[in-house]
A and B are shown apart, each in its own frame.
Chain A
Amino acid sequence: MAMIDIEDRPSSLWRDAWRRLRRNRLAVAGLVIIAALVVVAVFGPWLSPYDFLSQNLDLRNQPPSAQHWLGTDDLGRDVMSRLIYGARTAFMVAVGVTVVAVLIGVVLGSIAGFYGGWFDRFVMWFTDITMSVPQLLLVVVINASLKQPISLWMEARYMETLNPIWRNSQIIDFVLVFGAMALITWPPYARLVRAQVLSVRRRPYVTAARAMGLTNRLILTRYVLPNAMGPLIVAVSAGLGTAMVLESAFSFLGVGVTPPTPSWGNMISDGLRVWTNYPHLLAAPAAVLAVVTVAFNFLGDGLNDALNPKGQK
């Protein structure tokens, strides 16, 4: 490799990747859509024209109009406002689930890969077991078995403290949905991180770090993990999309976010019942879900190419 100009300061590894990503139109499109989703999710309450819960029984199942751009649903609620709030649900679930799953994956995968031995065998066994459990079944079981006790426990806390936060049923929803989904989505992250760590820990700079007498913990956190992260970034981008679809799928099947909290999944589920008469009630959430999922995949592919320029087809 030729000597690179010293003025070329900030880590140009990442800058190069960013330059390559920017040249990829699909990835940029994906990034723009995801950015829009984030804005909508964060500022939803200020952007939406109506309250997502307010019903207007005189205006049920309205087709799109000047007042209600995407029409209203069977309780006269504004579809657009519900979609916007649904973005918030989807975003929170996707980020929450992915953060928890990635944390579990990174901790288990890196320790397993770095130290090996019995812990490695245990983690590999554990990922195999987890991956062999049918996802839907696990979520249904967790929902069915934990929802009741958690609700009771929260009600008891409410009685003790009279703090209304304990009566917020959304919290139970999110904790259960997050929890259940994180518990089924961490194994691929753990495997990926383990494989990366196994290869990075053989690199000469890791041997050099050992030869300097650095502790294992320092070597793992400063030398191995940061250099093992590239593929994880790609996986996280794709994983966020998958988590959104998963949330929608569970809500669609009635084991995800409980109504009236809007989720694209339960909106699709509601729309499906009446789509022959009111196709917009199905079309709007389905289209949004499809576009966002595709956006994550475009970004994931783009990141993959940008971070592994040699692997380009």
Chain B
Amino acid sequence: MTLLEIKGLTIDIARDSGPARVVDGIDLSVTEGESLGIVGESGCGKSLTMMSLVGLLPNRIRATGGKALFGGRDLLKLSAKELRKVRGSEIGFIFQDPMTSLNPVIRVGDQIAEALVYQKGMTKAAAKAQAVELLALVGIPAPEERANAWPHELSGGMRQRVMIAMGLAGNPKMLIADEPTTALDVTIQAQIVDLVRELKDRLKMSVVWITHDLALIAGLADRIAVLYAGTVVEDAPVEAIFDRPTHPYTRALLGSLPTLAGAAMERLPSIPGTPPEPGRRPPGCPFAPRCGFVQPSCSQSVPKLQAMPGDRRHKVACPVVLEGVA
């Protein structure tokens, strides 16, 4: 069953010179228990899209259109108070930088317990016990002792595990992980990915994993959505993305994937040119200026996501390649 369905989401930044569009009509869906990987270059709107779901957009940035149905309700229409209840309890988050995402003046166990007290109205003692259980769940050794540790006493990998425990504290139906391993060592990255996969199966939740690193989530994601300049350009099951990448941008991304196992990619492989600045997108397909398959028709209209012939689950926003396939 569909858990999250985003339709035609647009996000604008209020600038002095007028609004600049950063997210331009994104369609995405996540079914229950599914894990979706979101890839795309820096600045393409991955984080803003996810933050908009729970009302955490920065000042001056607004979701201006579209819908985000979650369990039947449109998240974009909820009040601030209702959204606060969605955060943590229905949608959990893990962030990029485990070094700075924990409050340095609260012991890690108390940080989790405090959230439980407020999310679920637990008593302090019950919340503490549950915090220790959560620390054990995310594979922290000697969880009772570590619950009394200060954040600066833990290594990066341990802190990211604590962050995951916090993300899971409210028992959410969906966990959004925004580049949670970018700041970690390669070996630890793999451990975190494994942990999240295991937790996803055990807790039967959906996972949305934002990353620059296609290779890293190949083993975790069921489906991958490729974002470019605030639009989804390809959305397909993970095997299809790797076996039959169709959109020129996806192909370019994969074309330069490192073949050496374990080679870490901090950033996506470089493609000549740069993505358009928010508010300065070219008419038509935003990737056209950098595209090797560009046709005169590309600058006429913004391409829509369309299913590939013969595979309904593989969608591409590029009429040029679709015609070539057909």
Contact flags (1/0) for A203-223 with B, using CB distance below 8 Å? 111011111111100100011
Pick the interface stretch among A4-12, A41-49, A65-73: A4-12
How many chain B residues sit at the interface, stated as a range, is 35 or more
Is B166's CB under 8 angstroms from A4's CB?
A: no
Enumerate B157-196 residues with CB–CB distance to A below 8 Å.
163, 166-167, 169-170
How many chain A residues sit at the interface, stated as a range, is 20 to 34
Pick the interface stretch among B121-129, B145-153, B263-271, B286-294: B145-153
With A208-B166, A213-B88, A218-B114 as known contacts, state yes or no: A226 contacts B101, CB within 8 Å. Answer: no
When distances are taken between beta carbons in the complex, the residues of chain B under 8 Å from A205 are 100-104
B208 near A: Cβ within 8 Å? no
Is A203's CB under 8 angstroms from B100's CB?
A: yes
Contact flags (1/0) for A1-33 with B, using CB distance below 8 Å? 101111011011100000000000000000000
Enumerate B80-105 residues with CB–CB distance to A below 8 Å.
84-89, 92-93, 95-97, 99-105
Q: Indicate which residue in B101, B163, B170 contacts A213 across the interface (CB closer than 8 Å).
A: B170
Contact flags (1/0) for B290-323 with A, using CB distance below 8 Å? 0000000000000000000000000000000000
Q: Indicate which residue in B87, B97, B145, B153 contacts A212 across the interface (CB closer than 8 Å).
A: B87
A227 near B: Cβ within 8 Å? yes
Is B56's CB under 8 angstroms from A213's CB?
A: no
Cα separation A12 to B152 with both chains bound (whole Å): 9
Is A13's CB under 8 angstroms from B119's CB?
A: no
Cα separation A209 to B101 with both chains bound (whole Å): 9
B115 near A: Cβ within 8 Å? yes
CB nearest neighbor in A for B91: A211
Cα separation A3 to B119 with both chains bound (whole Å): 31
With A6-B153, A208-B163 as known contacts, state yes or no: A213 contacts B119, CB within 8 Å. Answer: yes
When distances are taken between beta carbons in the complex, the residues of chain B under 8 Å from A218 are 114, 118
CB distance from A12 to the nearest CB of B (A): 7
Is B103's CB under 8 angstroms from A222's CB?
A: yes
Is A214's CB under 8 angstroms from B118's CB?
A: yes
Is B170's CB under 8 angstroms from A212's CB?
A: yes
CB nearest neighbor in A for B86: A213
With A13-B152, A212-B119, A213-B119 as known contacts, state yes or no: A223 contacts B88, CB within 8 Å. Answer: no
Is A11's CB under 8 angstroms from B150's CB?
A: yes
CB nearest neighbor in B for A219: B103
CB nearest neighbor in A for B102: A205
CB distance from A237 to the nearest CB of B (A): 20
When distances are taken between beta carbons in the complex, the residues of chain A under 8 Å from B93 are 208, 211-212
Cα separation A4 to B106 with both chains bound (whole Å): 17
When distances are taken between beta carbons in the complex, the residues of chain A under 8 Å from B166 are 208, 212
Cα separation A203 to B99 with both chains bound (whole Å): 11
Is A227's CB under 8 angstroms from B105's CB?
A: yes
B64 near A: Cβ within 8 Å? no
Contacts from B to A (Cβ < 8 Å) = 54, 56, 84-89, 92-93, 95-97, 99-106, 114-115, 118-119, 145-146, 149-150, 152-155, 163, 166-167, 169-170
